Chains A and B, each alone.
Chain A
Amino acid sequence: MKFSLRDVPIRRKLMGALLLTSVTVMLLMRGSFFTYEYLNFRSNTARQLGVMGRMIAANSTAALAFENEPDAREILSALRVEPQVTAAALYTADGRLFTSFAAPDRASPLPASPGETGFRFTGARLAGFQPVLNDQRRLGTLYLEYDTGPVMRTWLRDSVTIALAVMGVVLVVAYLLARALQRQISAPIVDLARTAQAVSERGDYSVRALPAGGGEIRQLTDAFNQMLTQIEALNRELERRVAARTAELEIANKELEAFSYSVSHDLRAPLRHIDGFAGLLVKADGERVSERGRKYLATIASSARQMGTLIDDLLVFSRMGRSEMTFRDVDLRQLVDEEIRTLQAQNPDRRIRWDIGPLPVVPGDRPMLRQVLVNLLANAVKYTGPRDPAEISVGARPDGAGKVVVHVRDNGVGFDMQYADKLFGVFQRLHRAEEFEGTGIGLANVRRIVSRHGGETWAEAAVGAGATFFFSLPLSRPALS
């Protein structure tokens, strides 16, 4: 996982910034203090060695003046009590080494002749020369070598221990301070973020962020609350409009229902009368009417019946468009099998080869989807009338976008693709009534039902080469039906 500072919560970011700043400041301060102490230590040590040198030089004047070597060695060996003194030597006035002593672990040789007066550091080693004087007369030179290492190490250890202890205390104090301070800064931001999350998760626009703090955060909170108020107002307005529009639609729907009720009831009655009285006339005075007259009466009666069928179909079509849909799982395979049995029973003389592929279970209104398959399969049977045997296949495949495409293919008379867009219109027919019976409402119903399920309908065909009808259905229930 990639780590990015931007993903860290603001509280931790603030905390980190505050702690980092205090630690840095402390390290810098500690560093400068340490440097000062170190320099101080060196100059103090050099001064002390100078004092010691002058004391020993004063003591050795007699030994040098009388060239008494055992006395001189005795004086120098008194320095052994100071473990830091690693070497000492006395030179005569003409620069000859008179006497000396060196610590056992000291490796390098002593200087052969005296050098410049004064003490200097070479790493941790402080060494130098001190003239031995008597009444302004130079009797010789003293050499002293001092190892500051052990003292320095002790000092360093103590300094670091103290520094660490102080740093620990400072860190704890800084942490507590930072925590208190960051809370002041981050609390309003965190609160605002929580409110925003609540709004987006629950869709509740009535909550408000608590106005806290001042400056930019206060501005941000106020702006946020203002936006919520605006969204709430917009929502209310939208809901009001939807309610008004729904009421209008309900009225329109009621009117439509009343209209189709009248059509159903009142339009059918005169048709029944035309057919009925034409029938009664044939029955009562049939033999007195000419052959041609009887044919006319038969045409009057059959026209009335045809209109009755048209009205019925139109009513079904209108009902398909407005009736409530009840969604549940519908097994398309089961519907197809049932309808094939019905069609076989209705056409016992036809030889039809059925090829039914795997079909899915889809969410939908079962009676409506049955109507779709009834229409498509009955059409396939009807338009393969001249074929022996007729071949009808049904299959399905997913379209890769959450829908399944079902097809019904036949080897019937087909149609010219340039009329394909008329196919799904109400009462649109591509064949004469004498060729194939029907009112031309079936495919309009198919399109209406499929579109109410959120799918599409289309067809491919060629004259004399059969036709394939397709419809797609969502595999999951649409949010709005």
Chain B
Amino acid sequence: MKTLKRILLVEDNLKDVDLTLAALADHNLANEVVVARDGAEALDYLYARGAFAGRDPGPPAVMLLDIKMPKVNGLEVLRAIKSDPALRTLPVVMLTSSREEPDLAESYSLGANAYVVKPVDFLQFVEAVKQLGVFWAVLNEPPPGTAHR
């Protein structure tokens, strides 16, 4: 069986974190999920600094990124990592409530790899998160140099 790769979940809303984790756990995909509560924390993790200095080395297999967050929002995080040659290859999935076209357009133009609108329906939400987890943390071959644990 394929090993689960690490998922970075960037989400400010605790309830959404709980639901996402529950959905991932439901399908045994939750054992390697790192949660960052805003954009600043996400960047700290990626650059292994601040609270995340001395974490397990290597980038995650995928980052699930909310857009609307305090301090540094999702689009700013996206811009930061896509303009950094060391992090540019990290797959980023926008996972957001916003269906607004400007968000979609800007995400893709900044280099997002996918854009998923969180469904209101819990069953659909669970299904969406499961598929994301299976695809990015199991099926997808990450770029070379990404953590394989």
Contacts and interface: CB of A to CB of B under 8 A. Distances in A.
B120 A275 contact: yes
Residue among B19, B67, B96 with max Cβ neighbours from chain A (10 Å): B19
Residue among B15, B118, B126 with max Cβ neighbours from chain A (10 Å): B15
Interface stretch (A44-52, A233-241, A260-268): A260-268
Contacts of B68: 265-266
A269 B122 contact: no
Interface in A250-309: 260-261, 264-266, 268-269, 271-273, 275-280, 301, 304-305, 307-309
Contacts of A308: 120-121
Residue among A265, A272, A280, A301 with max Cβ neighbours from chain B (10 Å): A272
B99 A269 contact: no
Interface string B75-109: 00000000000000000000011111000000000
Given A273-B15, A273-B16, A277-B15, A261 B118 contact: no
Contacts of B122: 272, 275-276, 278-280, 301
B16 A272 contact: yes
B19 A272 contact: yes
Interface residues of A, number: 24
Contacts of B120: 268, 271-272, 275, 304-305, 307-309
A266 B125 CA distance: 17
A264 B99 contact: yes
B118 A268 contact: yes
B70 interface: no
Interface string A304-335: 11011100100100000000000000000000
A305 B121 contact: yes
Contact of B97 (A264, A275, A301, A307): A264
A280 B22 contact: yes
A264 B100 contact: yes
Contacts of A279: 122-123, 126
A194 B106 CA distance: 55
B97 A276 contact: no
B119 interface: yes
Nearest to A273: B15
Contacts of B113: none
Given A271-B120, A301-B122, A308-B120, A276 B98 contact: no
Interface residues of B, number: 20
B13 interface: yes
Contact of A265 (B15, B97, B121, B125): B97
Nearest to B15: A273
Interface string B122-134: 1101100000000
A357 to B, nearest CB: 36
Nearest to B98: A265
B98 A272 contact: no
A330 to B, nearest CB: 21
A260 B126 CA distance: 26
Nearest to A267: B97
Contacts of B98: 261, 264-265
A124 B16 CA distance: 134
Contacts of A261: 98, 100
A308 B97 CA distance: 11
B77 to A, nearest CB: 17
A264 B125 CA distance: 17
Residue among B22, B98, B121 with max Cβ neighbours from chain A (10 Å): B121
Contact of B19 (A268, A276, A309): A276
B13 A269 contact: yes
A275 B119 CA distance: 10
A159 B70 CA distance: 115
23 contacts: A261-B100, A264-B100, A265-B68, A265-B96, A265-B97, A265-B98, A266-B68, A269-B15, A269-B97, A272-B19, A272-B97, A272-B120, A276-B15, A276-B22, A276-B125, A279-B122, A280-B19, A280-B22, A280-B122, A304-B120, A307-B120, A308-B120, A308-B121
Q: Which 3 A-B residue pairs are closest in the complex by CB-CB distance?
A: A308-B120, A279-B122, A276-B122
Interface of A: 260-261, 264-266, 268-269, 271-273, 275-280, 301, 304-305, 307-309, 312, 315
Interface of B: 13, 15-16, 19, 22, 67-68, 96-100, 118-123, 125-126
Given A272-B19, A273-B16, A304-B120, 11 more contacts: A264-B99, A265-B96, A265-B97, A266-B68, A268-B97, A269-B13, A272-B122, A276-B15, A276-B19, A276-B125, A280-B19
